[in-house]
């Protein structure tokens, strides 16, 4: 029993050390543990490691969730209970959250941290905005959800402009109103745009296209979930050219590799039929995307913005030149 408690103690200490280091490195804010005595129920103490900290001169209660598999609604309810008891900002700490859960917490403006991946502290932004302390919340590429990424691509392709209502944006990206609203709120939080209220309606004001382009070039991630080779023929319009095969469509580069096609992860029946094989037996390389690769595609090839992103770190002169030509052509059109 004593050994078990000792191991638990050192585990919590290790969590705190890594968490504090991540916050300091990412934001530049000073953070120290505080001695604040608050009485919590057995249920809360059993499900969360609770400890008070002073972060950039703000007293905050951290609640580290011991079980990430619990329904997010229970965490939200616990968050409110902790907040009611300690009368200070509360931050939920998680090992992992998926994009849907992240968007849900942001929509409800509930502060949270995903260890070594994500920080969302709206109360700190409001209180520190006028101070001299460094203020750089992380805007890492994994923050952009597929829907948020799609909105930015539509904007860079001049399919969207300022003063658009949410329903109009939803129509352009072919997503439902609620999913589009969540994605826009995420982009607002990350500083890509502003959601403004005009009368009874909300409209969106994007930042300058060159600024958005540069940020997306750095922070955008590949939509490819995984890839495999197949010897099965692919008919119909469910696949679109990707990789070097698509880059060949936009540049003078000759694709000498196995043709690459992209399909949506939602096309489960098609993926099931395309049995994987070894590369030397394949007639296609298949990329499985976390979105529909047809969206904003051109001439049967995926949108060039994806290719610029996909090949930006490839160490090959011919590929680098093709991307430079493509990027210059794209920038000149802005």
Q: Using one digit for the tens of pLDDT, what is the confidence trace for 119-162?
A: 888 776 544 333 334 444 444 434 688 999 999 999 999 999 99
Share of the chain above pLDDT 90, in %: 34
Which of 203, 292, 191 is CA-nearest to residue 240? 292
Least confident span in 42-46, 83-87, 287-291: 83-87
H helical segments located in 130-274: 146-156, 166-173, 177-189, 209-219, 243-250, 268-273
Question: pLDDT-based confidence at 13, cuts 50/70/90?
Answer: low
Give mean pLDDT, residues 37-50: 85
Asked if 287 contacts 224 with a C-beta cutoff of 8 angstroms, the reply is yes
The DSSP secondary-structure symbol of 185 reads H
User: For position 141, what pLDDT does the model report?
Assistant: 39
CATH number of the domain at 141-219, out of 3.40.120.10, 1.10.730.10, 1.10.10.10, 3.30.390.50?
1.10.10.10
Beta bridge partners of 197: 202
Domain assignments of the chain as residue spans, ordered by start: 2-128, 141-219, 224-332
pLDDT in tens, 241-294: 999 999 999 888 888 889 999 999 888 888 888 888 999 999 999 999 989 999
Q: Which distant-in-sequence residues (6+ apart) come within 8 Å of 64 by Cβ? A: 12, 15, 19, 48, 49, 50, 93
Least confident span in 61-75, 174-188, 230-244, 258-272: 230-244
Q: Which distant-in-sequence residues (6+ apart) come within 8 Å of 132 by Cβ? A: none
Question: pLDDT-based confidence at 305, cuts 50/70/90?
Answer: very high
CATH number of the domain at 2-128, out of 2.40.360, 3.40.190, 3.40.1350, 3.10.450?
3.40.1350
Which of 135, 114, 130, 119 is CA-nearest to residue 28? 135
CA–CA dist 251, 168 (Å, integer): 33
pTM assigned to the model: 0.58
User: For position 125, what pLDDT does the model report?
Assistant: 56
Which of 184, 28, 17 is CA-nearest to residue 119? 28
């Amino acid at each position: 029993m004593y050994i078990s408690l000792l191991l638990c103690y050192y585990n919590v200490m290790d969590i705190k050390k890594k968490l504090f280091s991540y916050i300091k490195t990412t934001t530049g804010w000073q953070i120290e543990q505080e001695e604040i005595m608050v009485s919590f129920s057995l249920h809360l103490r059993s499900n969360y490691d609770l400890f008070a900290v002073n972060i950039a001169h703000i007293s905050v209660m951290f609640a580290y969730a011991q079980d990430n598999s619990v329904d997010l609604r229970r965490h939200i309810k616990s968050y409110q209970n902790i907040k009611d008891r300690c009368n200070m900002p509360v931050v939920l700490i998680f090992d992992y959250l998926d994009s849907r859960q992240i968007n849900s917490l942001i929509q409800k403006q509930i502060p949270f941290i995903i260890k070594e991946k994500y920080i969302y502290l709206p109360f700190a932004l409001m209180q520190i905005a006028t101070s001299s302390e460094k203020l750089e919340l992380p805007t890492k590429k994994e923050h952009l959800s597929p829907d948020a990424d799609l909105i930015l691509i539509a904007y860079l392709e001049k399919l969207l402009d300022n003063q658009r209502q949410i329903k109009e944006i939803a129509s352009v990206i072919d997503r439902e109103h609620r999913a589009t609203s969540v994605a826009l709120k995420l982009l607002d939080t990350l500083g890509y745009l502003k959601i403004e209220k005009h009368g009874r309606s909300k409209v969106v004001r994007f930042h300058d296209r060159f600024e958005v382009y540069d940020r997306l070039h750095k922070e955008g991630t590949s939509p490819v979930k995984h890839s495999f080779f197949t010897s099965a023929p692919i008919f119909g319009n469910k696949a679109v050219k990707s990789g070097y095969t698509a880059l060949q469509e936009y540049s003078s580069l000759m694709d000498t590799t196995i043709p690459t096609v992209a399909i949506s992860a939602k096309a489960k029946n098609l993926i099931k039929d395309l049995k994987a094989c070894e590369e030397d037996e394949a007639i296609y390389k298949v990329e499985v995307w976390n979105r529909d690769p047809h969206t904003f595609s051109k001439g049967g090839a995926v949108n060039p913005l994806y290719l610029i992103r996909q090949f930006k770190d490839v160490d090959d002169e011919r590929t680098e030149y093709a991307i430079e030509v493509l990027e210059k052509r794209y920038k000149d059109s802005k």
